[in-house]
Amino acid sequence: MPYKKPKIEKVFYTIGEVADMFQVKTSAIRFWENEFDVIKPQKNKKGNRLFSPEDIEQIKLIYYLVKERGLTISGAKQKLKDNREETIANHELVDRLKNIRQMLIEIRDEMEE
């Protein structure tokens, strides 16, 4: 059996890396941090924000509500307050469907070649 290199996951991400992940400006990440109490990045001695994978999952959910679903900040807060589990389940379902769609597109492109 060939050696498979394990995927190395970072423990913390900088605000710039997080902003690049979601293709938003760092100011949006800072704004969401102030508006949503579920995002609590650690800060180093210089005061730089360090986001954990759990923080990134929360940002992913907020991004889904605000950018993809088009909710306002107050609407996203209310949605998370009222039915957080259902919102998470819907986001995971949409995410899986996007992955399946991408896989099907790749298969189609391979068949055309």
pLDDT (tens digit, 9 = 90+) per residue, 61-71? 999 899 988 98
Output the pLDDT for position 101: 93
**pTM for the predicted model, two decimal places:** 0.74
Which of 78, 54, 50, 55 is CA-nearest to residue 66? Answer: 78
pLDDT per position as a tens digit, 7-29? 667 788 999 999 999 999 999 99
Domains of the chain: 13-82 (1.10.1660.10)
Which of 56, 2, 3 is CA-nearest to residue 33? Answer: 56
Output the pLDDT for position 42: 92
Output the pLDDT for position 8: 62
Report the C-alpha gap between 17 and 41 in whole angstroms: 13
Output the pLDDT for position 87: 82
Contact 79, 71 (CB under 8 A): yes
